[in-house]
Amino acid sequence: MSQSPLLSRRKTLQMLAGIPMLPLGAGASAALLTACGGGGGGNASFKSVSFTGMAAPTLAAPAAMATTTVGSAMKVLFDDDSSQTYNLAYQPFFITGDMVSDGKGGKILAGGYVDINNKPITDATVAGSERQFFSDSPDGTSLLTVADAKVDGVKGKPVFAVVQFEYTTWAQDGKSDMYGKLPSPIAVLTLDQDQKTGKLSLVKYHNVDTSKVHGLWITCGASLSPWGTHLSSEEYEPDAFSIASNAMFKAYSKNLYGSDTAANPYHYGHMPEIIVNKDGTASIKKHFCMGRISHELVQVMPDSRTALMGDDATNSAYFVFVADKEKDLSSGSLYVAKVGAGFSIDPSATGAAALTWIKLGSATSAEIENLASTLKPTDIMTVVSKDPEDTSFTKIVANGKTEWIKLNAGMEKAAAFLETHRYAALKGASMGFTKMEGTTVNAKDKIAYSALQNCQSSMVAGNAANVPGNGVSIPKALNAGAVMALNLRGGQKDTSGAAINSEWMPVDTKALLAGEDISADALGNTGNPNKICNPDNLKFSEKMRTLFIGEDSSQHVNNFLWAYNIDTKTLSRLMSIPAGGESTGLHAVDEINGWTYIMSNFQHAGDWGGIHAVVKDTLDPLIKANYKNKSGAAVGYLTGTPNQPSLKS
């Protein structure tokens, strides 16, 4: 692009919104301004960004394996062929379990759990050391602004981060498994953005009151809507037919309501939305009309109506929700895909597998919430685990299990939105994926990206969970997973021939990147450490032309955060997560008040598996020392510093 050689500082900073990893400090700002004509009268313009990856840490430096380690760099290229390189770093806002400011002169526990009455939930597993439960698993994060926001204590400009906490792994006794047994909190962080450096500082921590939406269960990935709200998730839908024997859900109900039978399973497995207020508080909605599936991450397309949803289950599928109105997810139509011939997870394969769409139904959130509150599962359908030898039943595979189901008369809508997996299988959808995690969109090229954490079980021909003929079938498992690319088009019709009212429907799917299973190396990795492995979080930056990938891997001793340039096809390792932890909370923000950020958290550091046998004894005491005896985890962002303080014209 061309520009005047003399630019105001503000205009130049806005132009530099495409430069990542700001804030870089005042020296870096001066360097960039000089390079772009802000100081010396030159007329070079920002052109592109590339990353120099870091090596994976090893036991030669055990401290690096036991914390967030960043050894990568960012190179900014200008159109006069000049460039500047910046070293990257990680900046946490807090470690969960810290006492932080509540904005009212007091303190609040970061990541702390509360019940339906917003009262602290106590961990009493160690006598004499009772304390409030707090999470070691922060996940989905959104960075956003609100018009005319004003929060006491902010000296620069107020910026807000919405952070959700998926679960806590263990009680403080280190023995009591707490996964899924506590109601997931969501917090709004008011951040003070320094207008000279772009640095973000925590001013206020506010817990969102989730009582009006029955509390939240296992909130995982998240995204920022085009209209500036935080789109959350409830990762798994508790099986209403077996809820009486579900010890995890009973414990959840007990911690939330004080009764192990008070929570209704049909109230969970939906998509919550957080709306931040001007003062750093927030309200919440739960959209019951987007399908009750294993919501991992929802990506709303630029039309502000079409949502592609991750479905983190065995026998999962591509689901799309098309809202009736822009910026309003409270009513619309739900679709599920059939996968055509040629499906492959090999990025070198030619062609792509076509996607066609089955309409499951249309509904409002209010009517489905009413059905959820009034219907029992047996009101909707009959489900049996053995062949009833009755032709009125249909054999399906759902959540890795073979079942026979019979839909009750007039219950199509209830089934579509409350028993979505089973109903989609009944309607002939391709329910064959495993662990479909994050989704994101490259709007310029109209391509969506979808992470398959693992390609196994229901995806593998001959496996008991695989459905022959459903289009999702690979010859052998790829435990290391893959990232799929889906072309987006308008003018599509569903399988009944009715028009789909969206210009952003996926029409095919093809592998973009894949991991590689290996025999255990000297460190214990069973996935190639120089390739992605078990991709989970995905976020795409339009200005950087970069797909960011966070791992949830049981095959990498340390999980990594990667950057993949879709034009140059370059994959760069940006950050290493503490061993045994998962890379979460990924959010690439192209511009907020002239600055660009990449948010990143981690979960459950030191959660050891079989691959950690070589490193566990060395790293366990280090991680315990770094992260509150393995009870804490970091919430923060990537930043950087220049190699030199300024550039001369």
- In the block, tokens 């910046």 appear at 86
Low-confidence ranges of the chain (pLDDT < 50): 1-41, 643-649
Length of the chain: 649
CA separation for the pair 146, 485 (Å, rounded): 32
Predicted local confidence at residue 37, as pLDDT: 35
Q: Are 482 and 574 in contact (CB under 8 A)?
A: no
**pLDDT tens figures, 159-187:** 999 999 999 999 999 999 999 999 999 99
**Two tokens at 174?**
């280190």
CA count, 13 A, side-chain hemisphere, 277 = 11
- Please, is 445 exposed, middle or buried when counting C-beta atoms within 10 Å of its C-beta (0-12, 13-18, 19+)? middle
- Please, is 255 exposed, middle or buried when counting C-beta atoms within 10 Å of its C-beta (0-12, 13-18, 19+)? buried
A 10 A CB-CB count for 7 gives 17
Q: Are 363 and 377 in contact (CB under 8 A)?
A: no
- The DSSP annotation for 447-484 comes to EEEEEES-B-GGGBTT-TT--TTSS--BSS-BTT-EEE
**Two tokens at 501?**
């009212």
Q: Are 433 and 511 in contact (CB under 8 A)?
A: no
- In the block, tokens 């009755």 appear at 390
Nearest residue to 309 via CA among 343, 379, 360, 369: 360
Predicted local confidence at residue 642, as pLDDT: 53
Q: Are 216 and 207 in contact (CB under 8 A)?
A: no
CA separation for the pair 229, 218 (Å, rounded): 19
- The DSSP annotation for 377-422 comes to HHHHEEEESS----TTSEEEEETTEEEEEEEPTT-HHHHHHHSHHH
Instruction: Tell me phi and psi for residue 240, to 5 degrees.
Output: -65, -25
* Partners of 109 in the β-ladder: 99
**What pTM was computed for the model?**
0.93
Predicted local confidence at residue 640, as pLDDT: 74
Residue 368 CA: distances (Å) to CA of 298, 362, 558: 19, 10, 42
- In the block, tokens 């391509």 appear at 447
| Span between the terminal Cα atoms of the chain, in Å | 20
CA count, 13 A, side-chain hemisphere, 144 = 23
Nearest residue to 482 via CA among 545, 445, 527: 527
